[in-house]
Structure 1
Amino acid sequence: MARVVGVHGIGKQTLGEETLRQQWLPTLNDGLTRAGSAARLVEPDMEIGFYGDLFRPEGEFLAVGNPPYTTADVAEGLERDLLLAWWKAAADSDPGVVPPGADTLVSTPRSVQAALRALSGSRFFAGVALRAMVFDLKQVSRYLTDPDLRARALARVVERIGDDTRVVVAHSLGSVVAYEALCARPGHRVRALVTIGSPLGIENLILPRLQPAPLGLGGQLRGLWPGGDGLVWTNLADAGDVVALVKDLRPAFGDRVRCAVVHNGAQAHDATAYLTDKLCGQAIADGLA
């Protein structure tokens, strides 16, 4: 089994294990270099826990790309609430985004239209088509609400984590999948969990829906620790990363989580930008040591 397992995030449904491994491997090594580590990863050292194809619609002749979603396809509840949270976060970090007012924070069709219009002009979602933005929303909601899809995605990642695996690096929605996979594999020997651009700490939307369910401690939810005492969990978030709404995971998972804010430039949520950061490289080097 590979020493390092990577778990991708949203929007990778048209890629695959080998494509992502070719993308991630050099950036992981760049991060190790920035950290001053002599360790280098080669192809057998890394595998990708790939689940993106579970979200890819079945092919049909004369139909290509993502489903032609519109504002009307954003479902009430989790999808609308998450969209509005993205809007607020984008406005907080990007002066070019008109902030939502009290009336537009109410979950209505009009608020969905306003949110998508505002996000389409943000730095974070620059160049992202509306249909792709809605598709990303639906990937998050489907993972959290579709038991069959969730079980299949988890199984893909769990089977990649073997006795030789020492590091799990997980991006975006993949951090949710990786967290649940480690919880589902008691006795694993992973020494470093590195989450990047993670939505795990969003109290009202993501945290209550985790499996296993978080505990209620002193009126606050607290997620279970995903391993033994030897596991070191490092969480990295860019200040402008809209998906990583909560940068500090300690209130949600305990003070053992090492949290840091990094600077990814214009690509705030990009996995490769996170992976080349010195702090990411150091966390991986520590797990491999």
Structure 2
Amino acid sequence: MGQQVQGEDRLRSVWWPALSDGLRRAGAPEGLLAEPDVAIGFYGDLFRPPGQLLAAGDPPYTARDVDGGFEQELLAAWWREAAQRDPEVAPPDADDTLVATPRSVQAALRALSGSRFFADVALRLVVADLKQVRAYLTDEPTRERVRARVMARIGPDTRVVVAHSLGSVVAYEALCALPGHGVRALVTIGSPLGIRNLVFDRLRPDPVWTCGKPLGEWPGGDALTWTNLAGTGDVVALVKDLRPVFGTRVRSALLSNGTHAHDATSYLTDELCGRAIAEGLA
């Protein structure tokens, strides 16, 4: 989310050093991964308004631009999670649970602005992120275009897929749509995949009900290892353990990412992340 004015090379320049540090923390052999071996599945420009200049920044969204339904419900979920993780954030009242009115939308945005997680994030960017998630999960043409970008980067020699935030949803669906792929390790970081109703229940392919509960499709063959890392204070990854909805084969772990709980590089530099990547490359 929020990368629409970036690009493949710019993101690789940020991710590559963090990937290297994570591999080093994990004790991986020097030279196991080289920068030319890293490809970025970029799709942020698809969310960029047509004709918008780089200097123009993001649209000047306000609380009035948060649409009803999906966007308000996801905002409410973020608010509840932030209140649980940060004692400085007042929890929503019972009447505000679904953020059903403009007044309660403003209350949610105001509460999030005072949290450690969203302290450095402009409120217009929070609204923009809500709209990106909604667009991917509810607008099929957008979903197909975004997913095609990522699928094009997964070739016969791709062994590891590392996916952050909304990108983890895209990567999961891309792998499910590529039967027989050779990916050995999927590493999801800061992922919202486990959020029922808003995210999990909207996945493609549809989750299958087994023994009275829904189960997401495994995104590969038996040789695929899936590691999910969630920061303890990461509001976006509000469901930390993916095993209940994707099966016990998912290796789930909690990380302490400090005040930058959702930042991709905070995940990539961790030993557990480096180890999961190294295992897929070995």
* Residues 39 and 285 in structure 1, CA contact (< 8 A), matched pair in contact too: no
Q: Equivalent residue of 2:182, what SS?
A: coil
In the other structure, the counterpart of 1:93 is 85
- How far apart, in 2, do the equivalents of 1:60 and 1:175 lie? 27
How far did 1:44 drift? Answer: 1.5
How far did 1:108 drift? Answer: 2.2
- How far apart, in 2, do the equivalents of 1:37 and 1:60 lie? 43
TM-score (norm 1): 0.94
Aligned partner of 1:259: which letter? S
In the other structure, the counterpart of 2:280 is 287
Q: Equivalent residue of 1:48, what SS?
A: coil
| Aligned counterpart for 2:3 among listed residues 8, 12, 33 | 12
In the other structure, the counterpart of 2:51 is 59
Deviations 1:173-227, CA, capped at 9 Å, x for gaps? 0000000000010000000000000000001210110001111123322100000
| Aligned counterpart for 1:201 among listed residues 175, 188, 194 | 194
Aligned partner of 1:43: which letter? E
Residues 156 and 103 of structure 1: is their aligned pair in 2 closer, same or farther, counting only changes over 3 Å?
A: same
In the other structure, the counterpart of 2:64 is 72
Aligned partner of 2:184: which letter? R
Check if 1:84 corresponds to 2:58: no
- How far apart, in 2, do the equivalents of 1:63 and 1:36 lie? 42
Check if 1:221 corresponds to 2:211: no
- How far apart, in 2, do the equivalents of 1:233 and 1:62 lie? 36
Check if 1:184 corresponds to 2:177: yes
In the other structure, the counterpart of 2:24 is 33
How far did 1:62 drift? Answer: 11
| Aligned counterpart for 1:128 among listed residues 121, 129, 132 | 121
Aligned length: 280
| Aligned counterpart for 1:268 among listed residues 249, 261, 270 | 261
* Residues 104 and 110 in structure 1, CA contact (< 8 A), matched pair in contact too: no
* Residues 5 and 54 in structure 2, CA contact (< 8 A), matched pair in contact too: no
Deviations 1:221-255, CA, capped at 9 Å, x for gaps? 21000000000000000110000010000011000
**How much identity, in percent, do the aligned residues show?**
68
In the other structure, the counterpart of 2:156 is 163
How far did 1:111 drift? Answer: 1.8
Unaligned runs of 5+ in 1: 1-9
Aligned partner of 2:68: which letter? E
Q: Equivalent residue of 2:96, what SS?
A: coil
How far did 1:119 drift? Answer: 0.2
- How far apart, in 2, do the equivalents of 1:155 and 1:220 lie? 30
How far did 1:60 drift? Answer: 4.8
- How far apart, in 2, do the equivalents of 1:219 and 1:135 lie? 36
Instruction: Supply the RMSD in Å over aligned alpha carbons.
Output: 1.3
